[in-house]
Each structure stands twice: as structure tokens, then as C-alpha cells.
Structure 1
Amino acid sequence: MTEFLNNPAISSESDGRTDPPGSQASDDLTGHLPTMPITQSPPPGVLIADHFHQNAEYRTYRPDGTRDYLITLTLNGCGTYRIGDEVRLCRRGDVMVLTPGTPHRYGTSSEAGYWEFVWCHFLPHEDWQPYLALPAALPGLLHVQLAQPAVFERVLQAFRRLIGDQLHTDPLHERMAYLALEEIVLLLAMQGGEAQGSLSLDPRIEEVKRLLLERMQEPHTIQSLAEQVRLSPSRLSHLFKEATGMSIIGMLHHIRLRQGARLLAYTSRPVGEIAEAVGFQSPFYFTKQFSAAYGISPSAYRRAAQSLHAGDGTSPDTKPGTSPGGL
């Protein structure tokens, strides 16, 4: 790793830091290949990441690809990837993943003249492979667009932790760096959809789902949710039902009851507090809705859960008609 980092042929002139994912050259990506210097890549197995601000001259050329994965997230400006004769641009929110052995060129696009991005070279753990079954923009080049601001920010924060932790040499920081990278991979799998065997939801529907999950205690209305994703209430209701098979209010109802069941099973909070915490206006209404969904009162559900914890094998979730359904 030291030999790689000290190689002067791959130092970045734009920010004074070592430049493993690319090299500087005056050639355009569509230029004459023999004039473009080959960019060295890190040894496989080295976890290395950084945050770059690159100018219009930034170029990379690896005719044999790399022996690891390279992931980039564009923050500002525009980059260009070229695989064979095909070209793809990447703008803010675009995550590109180059797979091992893919011959490639990439660099700053002439469209913007600069490219700000975070990146990481890595070899995945074996159990990550299903999550890297992401949509392909080109052969050997995977692509996920982070259209939701909340998801973009979460991936960026994970990148920042990864970049900071991988600078340390102790095993604990190395482990934390890999945990941050694993979070990124899982978030991409959730957005890319192929790892789950289905297509991604419309980003506006994903945003509504996120709001329902993270703010279940708030008094949501279809009108207020529609305003946040810039759709009409009728259009949002139609798209949501088409994508999820549930109405917005129906999903919020399920989310609240499911969380209520968890709090009953694993905490000692009073039923009234739980009702308020999950968004019900009164304990009476919570009890009525919970009993209708689970076929058992909240108090009886808690007793059954406590019996399960005591080891007698009973569980309210295993009884017919006691689950409000999945999401």
C-alpha cells in the first residue's frame, strides 16, 4: 500500500493528494488512446477512499481494468465514464460502480469542466455479493441514482465516515470503515432494487414511505404528503396504491400498529404512552384498532409476549389472525 501511495505518477495536481482512481492528462476521453497514460490502480484488498475536487484535465485510463471494485458518488459537476465505445455521464446523486476486470476510462466531463466526487476502492465481503447485483449502465459499470435527498445525505455521511476511518491503521478503525462501506452497499441495494428481486419504487413514493416510517407519530394527511413530493393528492394516492398495493392511510395504520406491537412486547411502557408514541390520539382508539388487527387486546398481547420471553414457546404472532400484515 505504501509503494502505491508514494507513486508520483498518480498524484493529483488539483488538491495535492494521492490520486488512486485517476490520473491527469490533456486528452479527451474520446481522444487517441496511445497518447493517454495508463493509470495505476491499488493492489486488490486495500481499502482506500477519498473526496476529490477535479478540474477539466482529470483523466483515467485502465485498459485492463482493476482487480477490485471502484465506487464513486458524484456531488457536484459532471464526470464521464467510457466503456469500449459507449459513454455515460454522471451528475449529482449518481453512484457508479466499476466491477473488477472492466477496461475503462473516466474523467471530468467537458460539460461542466469540474467534477467533485467521493470514491472507494474495495473488495467486498462474500455476503455482500447479492447486494452488488445493481442495475448496469454499461457492461461492467453499475449505476444507481440517489434521487431522494435523505438517501443521498445518508450515503454521503457514510462515505465521510469511511474516508475518515480508513486513514487509521488500527483494527478497530478498519472495522468501522468496512461497516460504513457496508452501509453504503446496503443502501445502494435498497435503491437499485435488483438485489430484492424487484424494481425500485418511484423516488416520490419512497420519500412518502420514509416520512410515514420515521414520523409515524405526526398527523399526516394525503394533502400534506402530496405537497412535500410535489404531486396532487389524487395522483399521489394513485401512484402509491399502484406501487405498494396499499393506500397511504392504510400503510400508516399498519406501521403504527406494528411499532405498537413491538413496544408492547419489548418495553414496559404503559399502553397510553405507546399509543401516543406511535401516533394514536387516544389509548381507547389504539386498543380498538390493535384488537381488530391482532385479534387480541394490547394487554393480552403483552402477556403473551412475556410468556414467550419466559420460554414457554407461545407467541401472539404465531396465532392465526394475530398479525396486521407486512409492509
Structure 2
Amino acid sequence: MTVEQNQNPLLPGYSFNAYLVAGLTPIDKGGVYDFFVDRPNGMEGFIINLTSAGEGVIFHEDKSFVSQPGDFLIFPPNESHYYGRRANSKQWYHYWVYFKPRAIWTKWLLWPLTVGNVGYFRPDDQLNKDLENLFLKIVETAQSSNTYSEILAMNLLENFLIQRMQTISIKKQEKYDHRVILACNFISDNVDNCLQDKFIIEQIAELVNLSPSRISHLFKENIGVSILSWREDQRVNKAKFLLQTTPLSISQIAQHLGYTDQFYFSRVFKNKTGLSPTKFRYIFYKN
């Protein structure tokens, strides 16, 4: 495998060591990309795949599913990948977005299953074009050289997931308790403040007129993660923004976000993104 191939996400050997990567895989019969993707252990993040032309087929053990134009598929972390162009189709063109989700997206990523744990979604014809165009906008934005391309692409992806939820029957929609929304807004507004873990939960409890234990339980029930875990995600998102847009040192960013230990901050950042703060900044400016 050459270095050039390793840097091409459409070919085997590419390291998806990033927060969001997107592209188009144009598979023509007998072409350079006409092979089956085979990742027995899947990937660290999610992949959403949109078929735009031709047909693809995904296999899981003795079952298979044919993806046609307009079909969205979602592969969760660690789910085996074995898919390619359907044998009797001359082509399979599909757009894809690989990402590591924000904590609040947890329930939005639970789609009806096809084979294995691969999710499936096909919007009604009336909404199909709108969602397809939004998905293509995510890919376009992710590939741009804009300073804020990753942040913008993540925001568009969140919009896509929300719009998908809105197409589901009202009976199936998940509704967030207004007190949980208040808690999320409070954390977002105070992500730069050096609030201790216990104190921030007490502040939120007072804000929503619930006990600390009750709001903690309600938050986990609605969002799928704890208050402190969600807060950590917002701190890391802010750290990424500061790494991309300011000359602040790693130590200064850690202090700005309330971390007293720079090395602990770096461990948290790497655990969430797969990269150290230094490596993240280096890759951003290199690209």
C-alpha cells in the first residue's frame, strides 16, 4: 500500500482518525473502486451512507440487504462492514459521512435495522430531495477548506438527524423534558466557567427546581449520558474550536475550560476525539 493510497479514504488502509470525514465513492463495474469493503471489526465512529445511483449490497452472516437510490444506511461503531456493488448493477455511487457523534445525538442514531446492527431510513418522496440535498451539503462542507468546515459540517449533520426525527410518527418521537433542555442550555452557556462537578449539578438542580439526584436521573434518561459526560463533550467541542481559531497553548486552553491538570485534559481530549490536542491542531493546520 502506497502512502498516496493510505491518504485516500476510498481505498483500504486509510486511517479514519478524525472527528468527521465525508466523501463520494463512485463505483463502476471493473473500476478502481470496484471491490468489497471488508472491516470485520467495523470502525470507531458511525458511518451514514446514501445511495445516489445504481445498487449496493451489504452482507451480515447469511443475510443481505440491497441499497437503492434514496436509501440511507447507518453503520454503528464496531459493526462489521462487508459491502460493495451489487453484481447485476453496473454501478454503485454512494455518499458517506464518517463521524464521532455529540452526546445529545444518542437517541437520534437508533434507526430500524436491516441486517446485523446496520440501520436503515428512506424518507417519503416529498421529503426525500430535501434530506438528500442536506446530506450532500454536509459532504460538500466537510471537504471545503473553510476554517470552520468541520464545525459547520457537524452542525449540518445535527440538522439532518433532527429533520429525520421530525419525519417519524409523532407517537415514536422522543420528547425531551423542558428541564433537561434548560440543563443543556446552562451547561453550554457556562462551558468556559471553572465550575466544579458537584457545584454545576447543584446549580442545575436549583435552576430546574429538582434535587441533584432527580435531575441527574432525568438527564440520563432523556439524553442517554450523565450530566458530567455531556458537559465533558461540550468542553472538548469548545477546545477544538480554540485549537483551530486561536494561538492559545494547550495549557492555556485547559485552564480556560476549567482543567487544573493539562495532562488530564489531554487524556480526556484524546479519549473523545482519538487525537491529542497537539496532533489535532497539527492536522488541522496541515490540511
Task: Give the TM bin, normalised by the shorter chain.
Answer: 0.5 to 0.7
Query: Residue type of the partner of 2:123?
Result: L
Aligned pairs (5 A) from 1:305-320? none
The correspondence of residues 30-179 of structure 1 with structure 2, limited to 5 A, is 39-40=12-13, 42-56=15-29, 57-148=34-125, 150-179=126-155
Contact 2:55 2:89 in 1 (8 A): yes
Q: Which moved more, 1:182-191 or 1:164-173?
A: 164-173
Report the identity percentage. 18
Shift of residue 169 of structure 1? 5.0
Task: Give the C-alpha shift of residue 50 in structure 1.
Answer: 1.2
Between Structure 1 and Structure 2, whose CA radius of gyration is higher? 1
AA in 1 matched with 2:25: F
Distance verdict in 2 for CA 1:79–1:119, change over 3 Å: same
How far does the alpha carbon of each residue in 1:229-268 deviate from its partner, in whole angstroms, 9 at most, with x for none? xxxxxxxxxxxxxxxxxxxxxxxxxxxxxxxxxxxxxxxx
CA distance, structure 2, for counterparts of residue 151 and residue 42 of structure 1: 34
What TM-score do the two structures reach when normalised by structure 2? Answer: 0.53
Deviation at 1:46, TM superposition (A): 2.8
Per-residue deviation at 1:175?
A: 1.9
Query: Residue 156 of structure 1: CA displacement?
Result: 1.9
- Structure 1's unaligned 5+ residue stretches are 1-5, 12-17, 24-38, 199-327
Superposition deviation, residue 19 in structure 1: 3.4
- CA drift of 1:95 comes to 0.4
C-alpha offsets along residues 210-234 of structure 1, whole Å, 9 cap, x if unaligned?
xxxxxxxxxxxxxxxxxxxxxxxxx
Alpha carbons of structure 1 residues 165 and 173: separation in structure 2 relative to 1, 3 Å: same
Give the gaps of 5 or more residues in structure 2.
Answer: 176-287
What TM-score do the two structures reach when normalised by structure 1?
Answer: 0.47
What is the root-mean-square deviation of aligned Cα atoms in Å?
2.7
Of the candidates 9, 34, 38, which is equivalent to residue 19 of structure 1? 9
Letter in 2 for 1:19: P
Shift of 1:197: 5.7
Distance 2:61 2:4 in 1: 28
Secondary structure class of the residue paired with 2:25: strand
Q: Is the 8 A contact 1:144 1:192 kept in 2?
A: no
Cα separation, partners in 2 of 1:19 and 1:172, compared to 1, 3 Å: closer
Aligned pair count? Answer: 170
Kindly provide the amino acid, as one letter, of the partner of residue 21 in structure 2.
I
CA pair 76-170 structure 1, distance change in 2 beyond 3 A: closer
d(CA) in 1 for partners of 2:48, 2:143: 18
Q: How does 1:288-303 map to 2 (within 5 A)?
A: none
SS of corresponding position for 1:151: helix
The 2-side partners of 1:155 and 1:120 are apart by: 14
Trace 1:173-252 onto structure 2 (pairs within 5 A): 173-191=149-167, 196=173
Against the structure 1 CA distance between its residues 138 and 41, is the aligned structure 2 distance closer, same or farther, given a 3 Å change threshold? farther
The higher relative CO (CA closer than 8 Å, separation ≥ 6) is in 2
Q: Helix, strand or coil for the counterpart of 1:137?
A: coil
Confirm or deny: 8 A CA contact 1:134 1:192 kept in the other structure. Answer: no
Q: Tell me how far apart the structure 1 counterparts of residues 15 and 120 of structure 2 sit (CA, whole Å).
A: 22
Q: How far, CA to CA, are the matches of 2:92 and 2:6 in structure 1?
A: 17
Counterparts of 2:9 and 2:85, CA distance in 1: 14
Cα distance, 1:43 vs structure 2: 3.1
SS of 1:152's partner is: helix
- Taking the aligned partners of 2:107 and 2:81, their CA distance within structure 1 comes to 24
- The structural deviation recorded for 1:49 is 0.7
- One-letter code of the match for 1:151? L
Relative to structure 1, is the Cα distance of residues 181 and 195 closer, same or farther in structure 2, using a 3 angstrom cutoff? farther
Q: Describe the superposition over 1:141-188 as per-residue Cα deviations: whole angstroms up to 9, x where unpaired.
A: 00011232x422112221222122212455533221111111222233
Amino acid at match of 2:153: A
- Say if 1:49 and 1:163, in contact at 8 Å, map to a contact too: yes
